[in-house]
Amino acid sequence: MGIDTRAAACTSCSKRLTRKSWYYRNGKYFCKRRCFETEQAKLAEAGKEAAKTA
- Judged by CB, which is closer to Zn ion: 13, or 41? 13
15/25 with CB nearer Zn ion: 15
Tell me phi and psi for residue 16, to 5 degrees: -65, 140
Q: Where are the alpha helices (DSSP H) in the chain?
A: 33-53
Stretch that binds Zn ion, among 1-9, 21-29, 31-39, 45-53 (CB under 5 A): 31-39
Q: Which of 17, 29, 35, 36 binds Zn ion (CB under 5 A)?
A: 35
| CA R_g for the chain | 13
C-alpha span between 41 and 38 (Å, rounded): 5
Question: Which residues contact Zn ion by CB under 5 A?
Answer: 10, 12-13, 15, 31, 35
